[in-house]
Structure 1
Amino acid sequence: MSKRVNRRIVLAARPQGDPRPGDFEVVERPVPVPARGQVLLRNVLVSLDPYNRIIMGNANSDQPALDIGDLVFGFTIAVVEASEHPAFAVGDHVASTSGWQEYAVSDGSDLRPVDPRSAPLTANLGILGMTGLTAWVGLTRIVTPKPGGTLVVTAAAGAVGSAATQIGKLRGLRVVGVAGGPEKSRHLLEDLGVDAAVDHRAPDFPEQLARAVPDGIDTVYENVGAPMVAALLPHLNPGARLAVGGVMAQITRTGGFEGPDRLPDLMRAVLYKDLTVRGFSVPDHVDAYPEFLAEVAPAVASGEARYAEHVVEGLETIPFAFQDMFHGRVTGKMIARIG
Structure 2
Amino acid sequence: MADAQKNRQVLLVSRPEGEASTDNFRLVETPLLPLREGELRVRNHYLSLDPYMRGRMSDAKSYAAPQALNEVMIGGTVGEVVESRNPKFKVGDNVVGMYGWQEYGTSDGTGLYAVDTTHVPLSAYLGPVGMPGVTAWYGLNRIIEPKAGDTVAVSAASGAVGSVVGQLAKAAGCRVIGIAGGAEKCRYVVETLGFDACIDYKAGHLYDELKAAAPDDIDGYFENVGGEVLDAVLPRMNAHGRIALCGMISGYDGKPLPLQAPRILLTQRLKLQGFIVSEHMELWPQALKELGERVATKKLIYRETIAQGLENAPEAFLGLLRGKNFGKQLVKLI
TM-score tier (shorter): over 0.9
Work out the percentage of aligned pairs sharing the same amino acid. 39
Aligned-partner SS, 2:71: coil
The 1-side partners of 2:106 and 2:247 are apart by: 31
Report what 1:133 is aligned to: 134
- 1:43 corresponds to: 44
Give CA-to-partner distance per residue, 1:228-248, whole Å, 9 cap, x none.
221012211111000000010
* Residues 165-202 of structure 1 deviation map (CA, whole Å, 9 limit, x = unaligned): 12212222211100111111111112211111011111
Q: Which runs of 5+ in 1 are unaligned?
A: none
> For the aligned residues, what is the CA RMSD?
1.8
Q: Distance in 2 between matches of 1:228 and 1:303?
A: 31
Counterpart position of 1:293: 288
Alpha-carbon distance in 2 for matches of 1:87, 1:149: 46
Q: Secondary structure at the match of 2:82?
A: strand
Cα shift at 1:143? 2.9
The match for 2:72 is: 71
Asked if 1:13 is matched to 2:8, the reply is: no
What is the DSSP-based 3-state SS (H/G/I as helix, E as strand, rest coil) of the residue aligned with 2:284?
Answer: helix
Where does residue 324 of structure 1 map in the other structure? 319
Conserved? CA contact 1:3–1:30, under 8 Å? no
Query: Residue 185 in 1 paired to residue 186 in 2?
Result: yes
> Aligned partners of 1:60, 1:209: CA distance in 2, in Å?
35
Partner letter of residue 270 of structure 1?
A: L
CA offset at residue 3 of structure 1?
A: 7.5
Superposition pairs of residues 303-314 of structure 1, within 5 angstroms: 303-314=298-309
Bigger CA drift: 4-13 or 101-110?
101-110
Q: CA deviation at 1:18?
A: 2.9
* TM-fit CA distance, 1:293: 1.9
Output the CA distance in 2 between the equivalents of 1:98 and 1:173: 38
Q: Which of the residues 254, 278, 284 maps onto 2:279?
A: 284
Q: 2:250·2:257 contact (CA, 8 Å) conserved in 1?
A: no
The equivalent of 2:110 in structure 1 is 109
Task: Decide whether the 8 Å contact of 1:176 with 1:196 is kept in 2.
Answer: yes
Runs of 5+ consecutive residues of structure 2 not aligned to the other structure? none
Shift of 1:34: 2.5
Decide whether aligned partners of structure 1 residues 4 and 136 sit closer, same or farther in structure 2, where only a CA change above 3 A counts: same
2:164 aligned counterpart, secondary structure: helix
Q: Is the 8 A contact 2:206 2:232 kept in 1?
A: no
- What are the residue-to-residue correspondences of 1:211-230 with 2, within 5 Å? 211-230=212-231
Relative to 1, partners in 2 of residues 1:3 and 1:325: Cα closer, same or farther, differing over 3 Å?
closer
1:189 maps to amino acid = V
1:293 and 1:66 map into 2 onto residues whose CA distance is 27
Name the CA distance, whole Å, in 2 between partners of 1:84 and 1:320.
Answer: 36
- Whether 2:166 is the aligned partner of 1:165: answer yes
User: Within 5 A, what are the aligned runs for 1:209-248?
Assistant: 209-248=210-249
Name the aligned partner's letter for residue 90 of structure 1: V
Q: How many Å apart are 1:59 and its aligned residue?
A: 6.6
Q: Which runs of 4+ in 1 moved over 6 A?
A: none
CA distance in 2, matches of 1:221, 1:147: 17
Count of residues in Structure 1 that have an aligned counterpart in Structure 2: 333
Q: Report the equivalent of 2:90.
A: 89
- State how far apart, in whole Å, the 1-side matches of 2:197 and 2:245 are: 21
The CA deviation at 1:303 is 1.4
CA distance in 1, matches of 2:9, 2:194: 39
**Superimposed CA distance per residue, residues 23-68 of structure 1 (whole angstroms, 9 cap, x where no aligned partner):** 1111111113332222111111100111121111167955422232
Once the two structures are overlaid, the 10-residue window that deviates more, 138-147 or 275-284, is: 138-147
The answer on whether the counterparts of 2:78 and 2:96 sit within 8 Å (CA) in structure 1 is yes
The correspondence for 1:333, drawn from 307, 322, 328, is 328
Partner of 1:195: 196
Aligned to 1:54: 55
Partner of 1:79, secondary structure, is strand
CA distance in 2 between partners of 1:188 and 1:124 (Å):
21
**Native 8 Å contact 1:242 1:276 kept in 2:** yes
Q: CA offsets per residue over residues 188-228 of structure 1, 9 Å max, x none?
A: 11221111101111133222111111111000000011322
- For 2:293, give the aligned amino acid: P
Q: 1:206 is matched with which residue?
A: 207
In structure 1, how many angstroms separate the alpha carbons of the residues matched to 2:206 and 2:86?
55
Decide whether the 8 Å contact of 1:152 with 1:176 is kept in 2. Answer: yes
